Amino acid sequence: MTVPYKGYEIQILPDNDCESPNDWNNDLFLVGFHRQFSVEKKGFEQNVVEALLSPTTENQDGVSEEEVKNIRQEYHVFPLEAYIHSGVVLSLHSGVKKDRWDSSVLGAVFIKRAYYKTKKQAQLAALDLLETWNDYLAGNVYGYNVEAISASCYGFYGDPKQSGCIEEVKAEIDAYLESHPTKTTSFSVSITSREDAKAQLTQLLEEKTNANIITGFSLLTQ
């Protein structure tokens, strides 16, 4: 996608080398255990997650009650559900059993209590994280490039019109224009025909190789 702005062409491009959201920090993350969606993290293995999500407090598969208690004290824990059908779409499990064969609970989302005190705050943070993850899984991550001013940045998750991508590049162009004011050079030419006008304007372009815009018979240069 190309976005014009103040005489510049902004190229919006896919980010094919974007980071997994789990690489960012240990305050918000998820784990999943499915052949089509596997995300692991040390200390949060499958048996640990199953024990955390279990309604009982009994020792399960080598996981002690103390270990479960310590994790629950440090993190809000939400069951992670995935709809897997020609792709993976993540969501928080509502607690309602679904009949769809391609939807299942396969892991958990962890939100640190130190930064998200209430369950409601943690749930909103978890939903934001899953939105980012779904953009990541769908390849909905972008960056921008403006060759004329050598400006580029990647890692914007979601629709470029809503992720801040376009706003940031426009601000960068504005800053560039402010620090590189445009100079105007005027030329007087004698025109006798359309062919003469075309020839003289072509000559002006050849003489001023850094020209940006010709308006009428004024040559704008930087």
User: Average pLDDT of 146-164?
Assistant: 94
Question: What pLDDT does 15 receive?
Answer: 96
Per-residue pLDDT at 181:
80
Q: Which pLDDT does position 98 carry in this prediction?
A: 52
Instruction: Tell me which residue of 115, 116, 157, 134 sits closest to 30, measured CA to CA.
Output: 134
Question: E-assigned strands of the chain?
Answer: 2-5, 8-14, 28-34, 37-39, 75-84, 88-92, 103-112, 141-146, 151-157, 183-186, 211-215, 218-221
Residue in the structure block whose two tokens are 């949060």: 44
Query: Cβ(87)–Cβ(138) under 8 Å?
Result: yes
* pLDDT score at 95: 65
Going by pLDDT thresholds of 50, 70 and 90, the confidence category of residue 220 is: very low
**pLDDT (tens digit per residue) in 63-99:** 899 999 999 999 999 999 999 888 899 999 976 555 5
- Using the predicted structure, report yes or no on whether residue 217 has a pLDDT greater than 50: no
What's the mean pLDDT when you consider all of the chain? Answer: 84
Whether 46 shows a pLDDT value over 90: the answer reads: yes
Rounded CA-CA distance 117/131 in Å is: 21
- pTM, to two decimals: 0.75
The domain spans of the chain are: 2-16+141-179, 21-138, 183-221
Residue 55: the pLDDT is 78
Between CA 169 and CA 150 the distance in angstroms is 11
